[in-house]
Amino acid sequence: MTYFSRPPKHQAIATFHWAILGLGKIARKFAEDLQRTDDAKLVAVGSRSLERARAFADDFRAEHAAGSYAAAFDGPRVDAVYIATPHTGHRDLTLMCLRRGIPVLCEKPLGLNYQEVEEMVAVARKTGTYLMEALWSVFIPSIVEMKSLVDAGGIGTLESLRADFGFRGQPREDFDRDRLYNPALGGGALLDIGIYPVWLAQFLFGAPESLHATARRTDLGADVDTQVTLRYPGGRLAHCYSTLLGETKTDALLLGSEAELHIHGRFHHAQGFSVLRDRDTPPENHYQSFEGHGYQFEAAAVMEDVRAGRTESARWSLHDSLLLHRTLTDVRKQIGVMYPGE
């Protein structure tokens, strides 16, 4: 069967057609933010439940609802797909779409481990099809401004980083059925939320020279309280903490040779940050407020890339994802968390 997922590259895309696979909470937020994105339209949704797909499509006026992921592309033209299934579905669904020539924005983590991500990147490059990991933080306005300020030397030389992310997971008796607590479902703090502090460290420092990680694990083997220390040239350190045991500030502190920079909570989609020079100088507050959840910025970036004929993002490249998942896989080796097939 031949799939006509998008117009030829020479043909301009006026209204950008999106599909969504996996219709949980994140998908709903993404769909809501698509409504805030110029020239974007949700046209197709796919779920393992036709009833759920039809209800989601009705809520967001998508014309095509499918009771399987593959059938989501049997309707109108799709210019890009957002994959929002649980972690264990990311690899197979991304590969399915890439092999049909459908540009993919895949929710983080892109894969369960470095080997999966490496395979996905290889297929994207072989087919010449757009692929980006949905690390939406890269595109949040305040994070963009923060990165520019740090790169320009606004706090001097970056010397150290501390970032945390924690929330209280709901205790359950049937942990084997809960994706947060079951490694067979990609569960654990690291890939669900710990990815954000580790991402921020890479975003600012690059790839680490070495790392040390320790974690508390459930009887099933999922990490629920995880500390990762990353070491960079010159002995600089990034301290990354994630937990499912309770709420944390979910903020970040950057220590520079000339000033400190505090990214307000929740740092991964913060609407502001403050630069602290000294005790006698008032904080320099930077605010970049926005409406919605913040997913509209990554959606707009994908649309710009696809319209320009690019096959990956310059702001969060496939190389960036490979580096991140090499680090995350190395962390899991140290803390003893294993996923299916490993």
Domains (range + CATH), the chain: 16-134 (3.40.50.720), 141-289+324-335 (3.30.360.10)
Per-residue pLDDT of 41-74, as tens digits, reads 999 999 999 999 999 999 999 999 999 999 999 9
Lowest-confidence segment of 152-166, 169-183, 199-213 by average pLDDT: 169-183
Cβ atoms < 10 Å from Cβ of 9: 12
**Residue 171 above 70 pLDDT?**
no
Lowest-confidence segment of 56-70, 158-172, 316-330 by average pLDDT: 158-172
The percentage of the chain sitting over the pLDDT mark of 90, rounded to a whole number, equals 86
Q: How far, in Å, CA of 229 to CA of 212, rounded?
A: 5
More confident residue, 12 or 286: 286
List all residues 6 or more positions away from 179 whose beta carbon is below 8 Å from its beta carbon.
86, 87, 185, 186, 187
More confident residue, 26 or 280: 26
* pLDDT confidence bin for 3, thresholds 50/70/90: very low
**With 0-12 CB in 10 A as exposed, 13-18 as middle and 19+ as buried, what is 41?**
middle
Mean pLDDT across 174-183: 71
Q: Which two tokens stand for residue 73?
A: 């592309």
More confident residue, 148 or 2: 148
**Residue 4 above 60 pLDDT?**
no
More confident residue, 6 or 183: 183
Which residue in 16, 18, 70 sits closest to 44, CA to CA? 18
**Residue 242 above 50 pLDDT?**
yes
Specify whether the CB–CB gap between 142 and 261 falls below 8 A: no
Per-residue pLDDT of 121-134, as tens digits, reads 999 999 999 999 99
